[in-house]
Structure 1
Amino acid sequence: NELNACHKVAIFLAEKDNEITKKDKAKIIDTLTENYSIEFQQSMNISERTLNSSLYITPGESGFVNFVNREGKICHTAYVKSSDNSMAYYHANYSSIDKYITDMCGLICMRHIESTGIIF
């Protein structure tokens, strides 16, 4: 099970963070018959009614963030971990979105995600 795509990395991190179970992880992975399949979108609760133009992360709340492009197609999935002290951790896999976020807020926003060994 290679971590060769942003959504696979996000799912891996969510499991390592105990946000989802191994069973949940397997169910989500099974929906990846194609990149961002309808089944994947349904399992992640992605629809026009769940789209937002901004992101507010509540301290202590973690989960998936799915990005859409100007055409409304999903183009990136990330796992965001927020600690109770309002520090947010974002997984990076060197996509153009990750570069843009880094350019906008600096490397300080890309931190080590504990228990995964993945560092930006």
Structure 2
Amino acid sequence: VRAEARARDGVSGEWHDVGSLGALERDGRVLASVGGREVGVLLDPVGDRLVAVRNRCPHQGGPLCAGVVSERIRGRPGTYDLERQSVLRCPWHGWEFDVESGICRDDPRMRVAVYPVKVDNGRVLVKA
């Protein structure tokens, strides 16, 4: 699993330890309080990396990180265009969010907070 720190919309806080990489690989995700917010760190099987996302769907407040990370597939009858971008689908109403930018694929005006994540000595760290 590849983990990398990425700058996000003014995120300039401290790194918070949210658990071991082994536990995250076993369970597929971990939820933690980071900077006063509930954040989920998930395995992105499409990009073979870790992603950190606020665990609240901006649509109706659903537990976003209980959703599925998958590849976005778009197409019209008889054709398919496979996008190499991963999306996190809210379990309540199916809204999809790009795990890199946090932008909603169905309504670009909606966005979820995403955070830098990295692994250091087997520990998963989120910056907030």
Give your verdict on TM over 0.5: no
Report the TM-score when normalising by structure 1: 0.35
Report the TM-score when normalising by structure 2: 0.33
Which one has the bigger strand percentage?
A: 2
Q: Which has the bigger relative contact order, CA under 8 A and spacing at least 6?
A: 2
Which one has the bigger helix percentage?
A: 1
